[in-house]
């Protein structure tokens, strides 16, 4: 039930075809934009990170440990291990007293070089605060993971007992549900007034403000997330295997896209096309994406050898 999102040409030959799904939901709960089947079940992967961080903010651990803005933001990140990312992660470990060797993520060459290190430090902060064992924080049976799953259900609106569980690339649980509910999660991140629980609503407001204030911490230089988050109207986060989510505050819309073959190279032109097709009024945001992720395909000598063509129209 997927549809063609992008075709890639080398010369005049179609070399690659990327199929997938797009779902956009309004604050009425209605699917207002779609490509492919919005009920397709997929893993949230790292798009769940801002939600996984909610209990950390809700319990006041940012204030307890005196984390500054960049340090708090990276708890929601898939960082690129740029020097400023590593500096911030080291500062968090110093302030919290959490040793690097407790992180389950692989050493590459250090554990904090892993793009999920901020999330792991946040989970370990929860364990420390709540008196839970830290050695097996990665297990779905661990109470801290149960707490996270509860918040995933609250923000997405998907029944907790129906959330399917896998193991993410970094070793902690990863959550799967229909695309429409993942889009709903990003609608609520963008429009926290839709969240009934006052403590969770306050935590989401803090998280999204930080993501916009420190976009470079959420991904890295010239990455899709960091480019989109420069726009204060957007809450955005990508994940592995081609899944990307964003919410639009003023328009009160939540979007998820899933590239079926797991590619992420096409995110930039797909998101730019979505924004253009819905008549998004911040042209600077679209231009940033177009400049960083042009349609042209260049070879190793920086010569144009092909092009990417968006093939979908939002239904």
Which pLDDT value is given to residue 36? 97
CA distance 221 to 224: 9
pLDDT of residue 102: 97
pLDDT reported for residue 203? 98
- Kindly report whether the peptide bond that precedes residue 130 is cis, defined as omega within 30 degrees of 0: no
What does the block give as tokens for 289? 């994406």
d(CA 121, CA 92): 8
In this structure, is residue 139 part of a structural domain?
Answer: yes
238 located within any domain: yes
Residue 191's domain spans which residues?
3-310
- Rounded distance between C-alpha atoms, residue 138 and residue 148, angstroms: 11
pLDDT of 83-128, one tens digit each? 999 999 999 999 999 999 999 998 889 999 999 999 999 999 999 9
CATH of residue 200's domain is 3.40.710
pLDDT reported for residue 271: 98
Bridge partners, residue 166, by sequence:
174
Neighbours of 132 (CB within 10 A): 17
Is residue 315, in this structure, part of any structural domain at all? no
Q: State how far the alpha carbon of 141 is from the alpha carbons of 126, 161, 286, 288, in Å.
A: 15, 14, 42, 43
Predicted local confidence at residue 253, as pLDDT: 98
Nearest Cα to 236, choosing from 284, 195, 187?
187
**CA–CA separation, 123 and 270 (whole Å):** 32
**Based on the structure, what is the number of domains in the chain?**
1
Backbone φ and ψ for 186, nearest 5 degrees, come out as: -75, -25
Residue 122 located in a structural domain: yes
Residues near 13 by Cβ (< 8 Å), separated by ≥ 6? Answer: none
Q: What is the pLDDT of residue 315?
A: 84
Give domain status of residue 218, yes or no.
yes
Please give the C-alpha separations between residue 140 and each of 57, 85, 144, 218, in angstroms, as whole numbers.
Answer: 21, 28, 8, 25
pLDDT lower than 50: segments of the chain? none
Residue 191 maps to a domain: yes
Count of other CB atoms within 10 angstroms of residue 202: 15
Backbone angles phi, psi at 227, to 5 degrees: -70, -45
Q: How many of the other CB atoms lie within 10 Å of CB of 291?
A: 11
Helical spans, DSSP H, in the chain: 49-52, 54-58, 61-64, 69-73, 83-96, 117-130, 143-156, 179-190, 198-213, 215-218, 224-228, 267-277, 283-292
Q: How far is CA 265 from the centre of its chain?
A: 15
Query: Closest Cα to residue 42, out of 176, 181, 196?
Result: 176
Residue 206 is assigned to a structural domain of this protein: yes
What residues contact 159, with CB distance under 8 A and at least 6 apart? 153
């Amino acid at each position: 039930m997927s549809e063609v999102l992008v075709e890639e040409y080398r010369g005049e030959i179609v070399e690659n075809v990327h199929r997938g799904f797009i779902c956009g939901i309004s604050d009425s709960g209605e699917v207002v934009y779609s490509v492919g089947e919005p009920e397709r079940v997929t893993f949230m992967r790292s798009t769940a990170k801002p939600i996984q961080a909610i209990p950390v903010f809700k319990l006041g651990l940012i204030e307890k440990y005196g984390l500054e803005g960049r340090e708090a933001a990276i708890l929601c990140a898939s960082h690129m291990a740029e020097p400023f990312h590593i500096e911030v992660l080291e500062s968090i470990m110093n302030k919290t007293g959490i040793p690097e060797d407790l992180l389950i993520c692989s050493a590459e060459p250090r554990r904090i070089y892993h793009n999920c290190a901020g999330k792991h430090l946040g989970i370990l902060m929860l364990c420390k605060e709540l008196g839970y064992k830290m050695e097996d924080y990665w297990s779905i049976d661990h109470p801290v993971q149960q707490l996270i799953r509860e918040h995933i259900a609250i923000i997405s609106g998907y029944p907790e007992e129906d959330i399917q569980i896998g193991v993410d690339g970094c070793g902690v649980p990863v959550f799967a549900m229909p695309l429409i509910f993942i889009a709903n999660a990003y609608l609520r991140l963008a429009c926290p007034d839709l969240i009934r629980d006052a403590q969770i609503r306050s935590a989401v407001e803090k998280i999204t403000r930080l993501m916009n204030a420190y976009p470079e911490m959420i991904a890295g230089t010239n990455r899709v997330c960091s480019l989109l988050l420069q726009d204060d109207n957007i809450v955005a986060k990508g994940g592995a295997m081609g899944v990307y989510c964003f919410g639009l505050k003023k328009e009160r819309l939540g979007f998820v896209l899933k590239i079926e073959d797991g590619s992420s190279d096409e995110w930039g032109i797909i998101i730019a096309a979505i924004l253009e097709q819905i008549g998004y009024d911040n042209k600077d945001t679209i231009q940033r994406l177009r400049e960083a992720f042009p349609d042209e395909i260049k070879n190793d000598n920086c010569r144009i050898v092909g092009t990417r063509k968006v093939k979908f129209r939002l239904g």
